[in-house]
């Protein structure tokens, strides 16, 4: 390696090698666990069914299915937690010191008065960090998906909209890692101290994740599943229920009153009740599992957009030499 890239490597090699070793350990562990899982599925001739109330699951040996899930869910949750926490880890240990430690210790004065300029110096170190963050988070996200997919959205197992899965896989996980890195770098540059910058990036990434998890269901409209008359409602299966049930009146309006027609001893049956109140059908609002990708791309765009804004800020601050 030559020039500023050598410097970037020399300064980050401990992080790169530690990260690579941990990742390799994860790969080995997941490969072992997943092979175990697959042989269990094969041995019991499982028909892997989707959804907790699906007819697909009717013929499944529930005892064995529960064993399959309980054997693997903890591991997947642990891996998912690691993957979901990776952006914070990257922000704290890679982003915050990337410029923060240089400014804190004064070594930026040494680096920036050599033959290579600010641009090459920053590009090399930030580029290496970006490369490693993207690779690392992508591998971890892929591992989660790989392990989880054979038993995904199954019975009372892990569903796509669970935080352990949604935040740990897909393009959004990689974009979030990039955001964590950029936020850490910006915090280090603006605060000029590593430790406070670490605290700030922890707060920012966790806070943003919390906001996104809270407001995720408001990004897009859920799908209303409509059943005519008193026909039985469609099973929820692997969809993400909003919990909004209701009736459709004669004018086609949705009336979100789930308990308009309770049933029980001495009460009219559903058909009679609906006829009495003028309802012609029922609905249930859900996000089908295909919305996983819509949510993922929306959040990917949010993370990348914020990362781009922070990156621009870093460039402006560096170029204006507002540091010191």
Which of residues 23, 116, 138, 298 is near other proteins by CB under 8 A? 116
Contact between 115 and other proteins by CB under 8 A: the answer reads yes
Which of residues 6, 32, 210, 263 is near other proteins by CB under 8 A? 6
Nearer to other proteins, 39 or 114 (CB): 114
Region 72-111 residues binding other proteins, contact defined as CB under 8 A: 105-111
Nearer to other proteins, 27 or 116 (CB): 116
Nearer to other proteins, 142 or 323 (CB): 323
- Using CB under 8 A as the binding criterion, the count of chain residues that bind other proteins stands at 25
Contact between 127 and other proteins by CB under 8 A: the answer reads no
7 vs 216: CA distance, rounded Å:
41
201 vs 182: CA distance, rounded Å:
9
Contact 304, 217 (CB under 8 A): no
Nearer to other proteins, 191 or 261 (CB): 191
262 vs 168: CA distance, rounded Å:
40
Contact between 114 and other proteins by CB under 8 A: the answer reads yes
Q: Which residue bears the tokens 């990337």?
A: 98
Which of residues 11, 133, 169, 185 is near other proteins by CB under 8 A? 11
Q: At what angle do helices 118-148 and 96-105 cross, to 10 degrees?
A: 150
Q: Smallest gap, in angstroms, from Cβ of residue 158 to other proteins?
A: 42
240 vs 290: CA distance, rounded Å:
10
Q: Smallest gap, in angstroms, from Cβ of residue 191 to other proteins?
A: 17
Nearer to other proteins, 253 or 320 (CB): 320
Q: Which long-range contacts (CB under 8 A, 24 or more apart) does 52-58 make?
A: 52/155, 52/156, 52/236, 52/237, 53/235, 53/236, 53/237, 54/235, 54/237, 54/238, 55/235, 57/154, 57/155
Region 237-296 residues binding other proteins, contact defined as CB under 8 A: none
H or E element, residue 283 = strand 279-287
Closest-CA residue to 71 (of 37, 47, 43): 37
Q: Smallest gap, in angstroms, from Cβ of residue 319 to other proteins?
A: 9
Q: Smallest gap, in angstroms, from Cβ of residue 105 to other proteins?
A: 6
List of residues contacting other proteins (CB under 8 A): 2-4, 6-7, 10-11, 105-118, 320-321, 323-324
């Amino acid at each position: 390696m030559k020039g500023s890239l050598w410097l970037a490597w020399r300064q980050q090699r401990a992080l790169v090698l530690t990260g690579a070793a941990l990742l390799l350990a994860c790969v080995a562990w997941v490969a072992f666990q997943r092979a175990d899982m697959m042989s269990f599925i094969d041995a019991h001739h499982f028909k892997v069914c989707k959804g907790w109330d699906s007819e697909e699951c009717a013929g499944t040996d529930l005892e064995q299915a529960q064993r399959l899930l309980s054997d693997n869910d903890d591991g997947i949750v642990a891996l998912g937690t690691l993957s979901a926490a990776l952006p914070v880890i990257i922000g704290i240990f890679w982003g915050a010191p990337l410029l923060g430690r240089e400014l804190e210790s004064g070594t930026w004065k040494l680096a920036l008065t050599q033959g290579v300029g600010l641009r090459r110096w920053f590009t090399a170190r930030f580029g290496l960090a970006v490369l490693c963050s993207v690779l690392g988070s992508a591998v971890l996200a892929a591992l989660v998906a790989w392990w989880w997919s054979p038993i995904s959205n199954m019975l009372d197992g892990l569903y796509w909209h669970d935080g352990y899965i949604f935040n740990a896989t897909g393009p959004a996980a990689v974009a979030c890692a990039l955001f964590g890195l950029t936020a850490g770098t910006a915090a280090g540059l603006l605060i000029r101290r590593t430790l406070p910058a670490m605290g700030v990036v922890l707060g920012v990434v966790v806070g943003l994740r919390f906001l996104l998890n809270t407001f995720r269901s408001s990004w897009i409209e859920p799908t209303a599943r409509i059943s005519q008359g008193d026909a039985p409602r469609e099973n929820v299966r692997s969809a993400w229920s909003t919990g909004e049930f209701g009736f459709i009146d004669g004018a086609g309006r949705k009336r979100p009153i789930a308990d308009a027609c309770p049933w029980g001893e001495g009460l009219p049956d559903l058909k009679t009740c609906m006829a009495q109140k003028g309802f012609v059908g029922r609905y249930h609002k859900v996000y089908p599992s295909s919305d996983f990708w819509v949510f993922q791309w929306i959040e990917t765009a949010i993370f990348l957009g914020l990362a781009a804004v922070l990156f621009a800020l870093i460039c402006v601050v560096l170029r204006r030499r507002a540091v010191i």
